[in-house]
Structure 1
Amino acid sequence: MLKQLSVMAFGVAITFSATAQTTYPYQDTSLTPEQRADDLIGRLTLEEKARLMIDVSGPVERLGIKPFQWWNETLHGVARNGFATVFPITMGMAASWDDALLFRCFDAASDEARIKYRQAVRAGQMNRYQGLSFWTPNINIFRDPRWGRGQETYGEDPYLTTRMGLAVVRGLEGPKDAKYKKLLSCAKHYAVHSGPEWNRHSFNIENLPERDLWETYLPAFKALVQEGDVAEVMCAYQRIDGQPCCGQTRYLQQILRGEWGFKGIVVSDCGAIRDFHTKGHHEYTKTPVESTAKAILAGTDNECGSVYKAIPQAVREGELKESDLDVSLKRLFVGRFRLGEMDPDHLVPWMQIPEERLCSKAHNDLAYKMAQESMVLLQNKNNILPLAKENLNIAVIGPNANDSVMQWGNYSGYPTHTVTILDGIKAKVGKNATVKYINGAGHVANAVTISHFNELTTRSGVPGVEAFYWNNKEQEGAPAAATVYTNSIHLDNGGNTVFAPGVELEDFSATYTTVFKPQKDCTVTIDLKADDGYRLIINGDTVANRFRSAHGMQTTRRELKAVAGRAYDIQVDYIQVSGMAHFEFDINEKHTVSNNELVAQAADADVVVFVGGISPRLEGEEMKVDAYGFKGGDRTDIQLPQAQRELIKALKAAGKRVVYINCSGSAIALADESENCEAILQAWYPGERGGDAVADVLFGDYNPSGKLPITFYKSVNDLPDFLDYTMAGRTYRYFQGTPLWAFGYGMSYTDFVFGKPRYKKGKLSVALENIGSCDGEEVVQVYVKRIADTDGPIKTLKAFRRVNVGAGQKTEVEMELPREAFECWDKESNTMRVIPGKYNVMVGNSSRAEDLQTIVVTVK
């Protein structure tokens, strides 16, 4: 008797047949994953093996092997696969210093991931972003605030990053002793990666001091491998000492596999193997065959890309042996068997997660709680905060005040609803209080932009723009995907992001159609920006045709004098030729406004809440932004953009009290703002409930307790060269200057006092008293410094704990500080070890010297 299983792969329905009885050992669920993998590998042909070592892993129908997608994303909630709970960006979650809460967030995210996987399988699909292998956490050290991807990390400290990374792995993979893993998680990007974005495909890190390597760049990876049993490690784009990371024998073979004993899967970053031989990139090899052999022999098991299609040729030419492939394939299949992906659903508990958990109230509440804990109060002159809820006129201004998409950060899903910061403030005020929103302040220039996207409907009358995609450049055949966009469209394949599930990264085309019916007479611009080609068709007439020069970024702003009630049928045909894919579309009214006009609108305000900063549209992964101090997703300057600085200064000059909310994924130099604003709150990109969390802090419904996971410098002049990977002068551990706000810093509405720490037999204890008038949480931080070490860090975080203390209450805090916490670099032996001697142990609520109590501990 046969049972049938149908799955959609690459847009084609595939039906597998497998016997109802167990025929082969690899189908026997009582065997170990290793035994099952050994049996299955022996049944594969060379061509089948090659297909299984690429991230879009093809099926082997004769053996019942289903398609498998190795690349999925859940940086801060399930990403790029429809509706999902969107938590604050990871840098914001790091500011919570709450790894227990972080675990709960990723446990919730993994619930949603399993639900979405089950939905896809039952729908006969298995497209990108629908699989069970998730490429997170990003545990790179955020060494420089100019790095555009810093928002994806957990900050600048190895220990904080380690604690947070372990929590993510536990939340995604489930209990270590479970038969089946919930998901596969991935520690990335290994190793020594921290920007820049613009040259990552050719960059070479040379002569990195061994101390920096072992004390700063590697500890989190080692911990996730040895303590976390992380399933996957992703090798990075750049070279180290001339070898690309995905072909690095020292890092992959000697350290990862040898010293640390990693038995899991190594995946490449997307396109990283292609960088080996591409002209203008690493040029480490000459051909795809040579690149394939180098990467596989170094230990890269799975390629995100298509270079591994050369595997059969590499074997035939003697560059590889089939037995070399079997080593990688065993690791890949062990991972798949540990997921239960090849076993009946009823045997895998994770396949029984109730569907109602997807975007549930419980998960929304977790996003809310994490957003609250991520808020860092940096300044509060004259105790202007918390604000009164009544009898107060508030003006809300700034580019991030009413921007829901900003709050999602990068690599995000789509929340069912987002509470903007403006929404949160409006919901809080009470009797005789007003909230006035002043539109027009932009990130880099002031202009009132009114989108008419809400006046667009599909040709069938559904709100939005309808899109059809084809995996060819001719728009031929059945569409590979279709969707409707209800917000202004901003798509690109930066970071190897597809436009929609089922659409390839390159060589695709699309048609976008909508009907614009304005409610009043207006002059609008149809704003189009695309790489590669497009044509714009209005009411059947082609008014812009850029197909003929379909290469590179192209922009069209087509003015339309629209008449109220008249219908304008709009169609945009898009073609992607090669490389970069980018498409933006909106219909806007726009006019510039002066600072005087904006300040005048705030004339009656008792307080101005300015919600500024930057945006994921300006900082991120390998972006094509070149103006206003941004390059490739990185920043060339760390100051707040000039337009915002000048407007805040004008508000101050007009006598306004300004409360500044900074939204960013990284550190902003806010020296001017610290002078011109009464209060400053760092809100990051705070997720779907960010507006509620900000408002809670502003009005005193939540006592802020977040702490900075990074240093806020005064200017870019405080920073070494961006391309210099040595740690000298970087982060709180090596920076000799005075920061604007220090790592670990964050204010509260109450005051805490620390007693003298005590240390005995691996335990540290300290008295903590809340001498203020309201309850609060404090993060107790423990730093260590070997006194005789004159070359090493100024101090290094070794323990922390979040503690709740009631008003007027006192508590005794006990923390583990084992012998291993004193491990550091020994230049005599060139190893990490505990060196006997005297150590300063510093305890307090930030890394600032004035916030720490110090005792001397002798380690024997």
Structure 2
Amino acid sequence: MNHKLKTALVLLASSALAPLANAQTTPGKLGDPSATPEERAREVISKMTLDEKAHQLGHTAPAIPRLGVPEYNWWNEGLHGVARAGIATVFPQAIGMAASWDAPLLHQVADTIATEFRAKYVERRHPNGGSDFYRGLTVWSPNINIFRDPRWGRGQETYGEDPYLSGRLGIAFITGLQGDDPKFLKTVATSKHFAVHSGPESNRHREDVHPSAYDLEDTYLPAFRATVTEGKVESIMCVYNAVDGVPGCANSFLMEDHLRKSWGFKGYVVSDCGAAANIYREDALHYTKTAPEGVALGFKAGMDLICGDYRNHMTTDPENIVAAVKAGQLPEAVVDRSLLRLFEARVRLGLFDPQLPFADITAKDYDTPEHHAVSRKMAEASMVLLKNQGDLLPIKGEPRTIAVIGPNADSFDALVGNYYGTPSKPVTVVDGIRARYPNAKVLLVQGTGLIGPAEIAVPDDAFCVDAGCAAKGLKVEFFKGPELQGPVTETSTVPNARFDWLGERETSARWTGTLVAPESGEYGFRFLSENGYRVWVGDKLVVDEWGVGDAPSILSGRITLEKGKRYPIRVEGFQRGQRSSQQLVWSPPSADAEHAVDAAKQADLVLFVGGLSARIEGEEMKVKAPGFAGGDRTSLDLPAPQQQLLERVQAVGKPTVLVLMNGSALGVNWADAHVPAIIEAWYPGGEGGHAVAGLIAGDFSPAGRLPVTFYKSADQLPAFTDYRMAGRTYRYFTGEPLYPFGHGLSYTRFGYAPAKLSKAKVGADGKVEVSVDVRNTGARDGDEVVQLYVSHPGTTGAPVRALERFERVHLKQGETRTVRFSLDARALSQVDVKGVRKLVPGRIKLWIGGGQPVTRPGLPAVAGVAAELEVTGSAVLPR
């Protein structure tokens, strides 16, 4: 049977069986909706054997048929859309959504994502009510770690460098995911990674960080506190690394003293995937000598659920849990405590009820036009206009010829970032330009790769099935499972080494044949894939990125070939979860840069679309290029191949716009000095190309603001491994940034009237209302992001200024609106060296404006107003 057809039939069968799940009955109180979640959970736990209990404490919890408990996989990713579960609406990457500074819109996005999770659950729910990998309702998002250093590869997953902004956006996302039903959770959200975690990726399983008491309270914990005390998040994920010598998933100071005792957290704690094993692994933290001792320490400290990972063969330690209980290292009452938290969550999701809650959500309610519209709206809101010299943007008139140049011009990777689903109709930047300017001649030239030569698909005519080249194509073998082992499910002849994976959770393939080189010289080879790959040419293993994780890097390999010579070729790849396509690509000896320069010469408008992708910045990856290490970065510069081509293209002298697509700050100093317009587009999701084109055309006025500081160079920062906040982020950086936190230009202008305070002096409660009239003084409608910063002049060690309130408002041309902010003791407080948060008598300065009161040559002045108040009372605030 055809491989794609067979997969489609499996999907159809699974979908067809889904409605049967509602007909299942669960015995005892567990299936009784009239009982409380605690009563329902306690009864079923009381009937479990120790072995059954231990197996329920891993992310792949098996069924217990005799108790009516179906299997459940807790591992689901929803950072910016349902991830790894096939077709789904893909929203901008988290750092891009943070750039919107729009909490209500982010809440709408998260509610939409929750709807798609419910739809996916219904689509593939087992007849007994169970769920598969990436098909459940427990979502391991959001990531609210502080993006303290732009070199961190996973910073793209966060809401930026500011604790207050991260907390407010985290709350919006969590409440959107979890919903507002008084009885049922729409999904479970997870604040991660708790706590003090932001690289380096290369050492995350062995790193021991030592934050000061001041930095812990002032920077690393506030967003987590907010998502617990205000957002009521149901789940927390503990970290890989150690904090002050104790592994994060065995750290009672964090999980008990702060999380449960101080903040009143009632939910469950899940380990990061492999973090529980880090407690005892010899090649990790090795905090305990044995595995049973390690898991016992974790559960006693407050961890409730173990996520395994590929480093420890996905083990969730059931045998070690049993051994720890039998050895007296782990009280069974602690096991029961964790099970109670987990089963209460499953009950509140409605997983044991006779009828599923949210019954109006069907298996078809994902990837809908309405959801695409929300994605596009967020993509537009996330766009940050960094520079607009001479008001080049929006483009006037209709360009006749547009050259779209650069490695991200037609890149799927640059749309989706990491932890993503599969958009059904991804709109790249060139797609968006073609749609917006249908009468223009659009010239697409890659010109360069991200960190090396441009890569293009190997043409079909380069392949022969055998050494004699009697027929074109390659032989392909598909295997059941990811390791090219076991039964071969299909063998056939295909034109090329490419394939669209349709849904088999674990599959692998091998393509073999002959390659005929079209020219002599050095070639680069890579398998554009969602998982691991290997490529042999002749007898040489050219590139090996088989890996063990979820997403490969952009790793390629090089080999010299002779024109017309025939070389045996073998390509191998594997796939886990539902992803998109695989394709063999190469960089032939002929340079593509000249074509890019020629295209620029022909154009009326040039768009250079560059930056990064999640193939070179991300989670534990192989990247062999200057400026990159293990998924992190060692330089903030635009990669050298891109910089060189950008300079050549700009020298042509045509109106040029630089579109950056990336998940972290770039020190584009040369571009700031020479390119008239620069757009920060982030990883903008499935509709991203439309958003970029719309901004360029002026279909909307940009209003995104930077959630991170764009430094000029990494040399302005302390060492990446240094977790002290001194000298980092806008709050403690005293140098001159390239673009400051909160920066973003508009196509209109805004004016601020003097601020009004409800009182000039505040007491121990710190309560004061600040209001300001904001007027759109420009020539068109637009959004303004009103930002309120607090400063404590004369206080040693305090932040330069700190964001304490913000609101994004839409103003029509000439419209004035009063924006009001209510401040309290926490907003006006300070943290002492012992980590105690206090309201202290003294003078406080306020700034209310469209950004920080920071400028430099080349940047316009920021509209806003200053105000002062005096604190007369004092108070010690709860941590």
TM above 0.5, yes or no, is: yes
Q: Distance in 2 between matches of 1:527 and 1:19?
A: 49
**Residues 727 and 733, structure 2, Cα contact 8 Å, conserved in 1:** yes
Q: Distance in 1 between matches of 2:545 and 2:442?
A: 49
- Aligned residue runs from structure 1 range 239-388, under 5 A: 239-305=242-308, 306-309=315-318, 310-345=320-355, 348-388=356-396
Q: Which residue of 1 aligns with 2:765?
A: none
Amino acid at match of 2:431: D
Q: Distance in 2 between matches of 1:27 and 1:37?
A: 10
Provide Cα deviations, 1:273-310, integer angstroms capped at 9, x if missing partner.
21122223212111211111111111111001125221
What is the deviation of 1:754? 1.1
What is the deviation of 1:525? 8.3
**Residues 359 and 415, structure 1, Cα contact 8 Å, conserved in 2:** yes
Q: Distance in 2 between matches of 1:163 and 1:547?
A: 44
The 3-state SS of whatever aligns with 1:303 is coil
Amino acid at match of 2:115: D
Change (3 A) 1:464 1:264: farther
CA RMSD across the alignment: 3.9
Amino acid at match of 2:670: D
The 3-state SS of whatever aligns with 2:203 is coil
**Residues 383 and 692, structure 2, Cα contact 8 Å, conserved in 1:** yes
The 3-state SS of whatever aligns with 2:125 is helix
Amino acid at match of 1:342: F
What is the deviation of 1:712? 0.4
Q: Distance in 1 between matches of 2:464 and 2:349?
A: 42
Provide Cα deviations, 1:487-523, integer angstroms capped at 9, x if missing partner.
96799xxxxxxx97643xxxxx7334599999x9999
Residue in structure 2 matching 1:116, options 116, 120, 125 = 120
Change (3 A) 1:745 1:525: closer
Amino acid at match of 2:236: V
Q: Distance in 2 between matches of 1:285 and 1:33?
A: 35
Q: Which residue of 1 aligns with 2:722?
A: 724
Q: Which residue of 2 aligns with 1:712?
A: 710
Residue in structure 1 matching 2:201, options 193, 197, 200 = 197
- Aligned residue runs from structure 1 range 601-640, under 5 A: 601-640=599-638
Q: Which residue of 2 aligns with 1:3?
A: none
Amino acid at match of 1:332: L
Amino acid at match of 2:815: Q
Q: Which residue of 2 aligns with 1:815?
A: 821
Q: Distance in 2 between matches of 1:448 and 1:349?
A: 48
The 3-state SS of whatever aligns with 1:368 is helix
Q: TM-score, normalised by structure 1?
A: 0.87
Does 466-475 or 85-94 show the bigger shift?
466-475
What is the deviation of 1:111? 0.5
Change (3 A) 1:448 1:142: closer
Amino acid at match of 2:413: V
Residue in structure 2 matching 1:766, options 772, 777, 787 = 772
**Residues 22 and 354, structure 2, Cα contact 8 Å, conserved in 1:** no
Structure 2 unmatched ranges of 5 or more: 1-10, 309-314, 466-472, 549-554, 576-580, 760-767, 855-860, 873-879
Q: Distance in 1 between matches of 2:394 and 2:541?
A: 55
The 3-state SS of whatever aligns with 1:103 is helix
Is 1:782 matched up with 2:780?
no
The 3-state SS of whatever aligns with 2:279 is helix
Structure 1 unmatched ranges of 5 or more: 1-6, 492-498, 504-508, 577-582
Change (3 A) 1:212 1:429: same
Amino acid at match of 1:802: R
Amino acid at match of 1:110: A
What is the deviation of 1:99? 0.8
What is the deviation of 1:730? 0.5
Q: Distance in 2 between matches of 1:17 and 1:446?
A: 52
Change (3 A) 1:501 1:80: farther
The 3-state SS of whatever aligns with 2:414 is helix
The number of residue pairs the alignment matches comes to 813
Change (3 A) 1:364 1:584: closer
Residue in structure 2 matching 1:179, options 177, 183, 203 = 183
Change (3 A) 1:338 1:714: same
Change (3 A) 1:165 1:466: farther
What is the deviation of 1:69? 0.8
Does 682-691 or 123-132 show the bigger shift?
123-132
Q: Which residue of 2 aligns with 1:73?
A: 77
Amino acid at match of 1:197: E
Is 1:429 matched up with 2:437?
yes
Is 1:661 matched up with 2:659?
yes
Q: Which residue of 1 aligns with 2:240?
A: 237
**Residues 375 and 683, structure 1, Cα contact 8 Å, conserved in 2:** yes
Q: Distance in 2 between matches of 1:329 and 1:71?
A: 17
Change (3 A) 1:395 1:587: closer
The 3-state SS of whatever aligns with 1:189 is strand
Amino acid at match of 1:140: N
Q: Which residue of 2 aligns with 1:840?
A: 845
Amino acid at match of 2:826: E
What is the deviation of 1:430? 6.0
Q: Distance in 2 between matches of 1:249 and 1:479?
A: 49
**Residues 527 and 533, structure 2, Cα contact 8 Å, conserved in 1:** no
Provide Cα deviations, 1:348-380, integer angstroms capped at 9, x if missing partner.
332430344210000000000000000000101
Q: Which residue of 2 aligns with 1:858?
A: 870
Q: Distance in 2 between matches of 1:130 and 1:85?
A: 15
Does 836-845 or 608-617 show the bigger shift?
836-845
Does 622-631 or 651-660 show the bigger shift?
651-660
Amino acid at match of 1:67: E
Does 58-67 or 45-54 show the bigger shift?
58-67
**Residues 763 and 814, structure 1, Cα contact 8 Å, conserved in 2:** yes
Is 1:441 matched up with 2:448?
yes
The 3-state SS of whatever aligns with 1:401 is coil
What is the deviation of 1:58? 1.1
**Residues 784 and 808, structure 2, Cα contact 8 Å, conserved in 1:** yes
Change (3 A) 1:630 1:449: same
Q: Distance in 2 between matches of 1:528 and 1:422?
A: 23
The 3-state SS of whatever aligns with 1:350 is coil
Q: Distance in 2 between matches of 1:637 and 1:97?
A: 27
The 3-state SS of whatever aligns with 1:615 is coil
Does 619-628 or 651-660 show the bigger shift?
651-660
The 3-state SS of whatever aligns with 2:378 is helix
Provide Cα deviations, 1:363-421, integer angstroms capped at 9, x if missing partner.
00000000000000010111111113425432211110111232111000000101110
The 3-state SS of whatever aligns with 1:608 is strand
The 3-state SS of whatever aligns with 1:168 is helix
Q: TM-score, normalised by structure 2?
A: 0.85
Change (3 A) 1:486 1:662: farther
Residue in structure 2 matching 1:41, options 32, 35, 45 = 45
Residue in structure 1 matching 2:146, options 138, 141, 152 = 141
Is 1:131 matched up with 2:111?
no
Amino acid at match of 2:844: Y
Q: Distance in 2 between matches of 1:19 and 1:698?
A: 53
Q: Distance in 2 between matches of 1:193 and 1:324?
A: 27
**Residues 107 and 172, structure 2, Cα contact 8 Å, conserved in 1:** yes
Q: Which residue of 2 aligns with 1:495?
A: none
Q: Which residue of 2 aligns with 1:394?
A: 402
What is the deviation of 1:243? 0.4
Does 62-71 or 25-34 show the bigger shift?
25-34
Provide Cα deviations, 1:717-746, integer angstroms capped at 9, x if missing partner.
111110111110101100001111111110
Q: Distance in 1 between matches of 2:134 and 2:850?
A: 40
Change (3 A) 1:515 1:390: farther
Q: Which residue of 1 aligns with 2:168?
A: 163
Provide Cα deviations, 1:537-569, integer angstroms capped at 9, x if missing partner.
9xxxx9778999999999687979999xxxx99
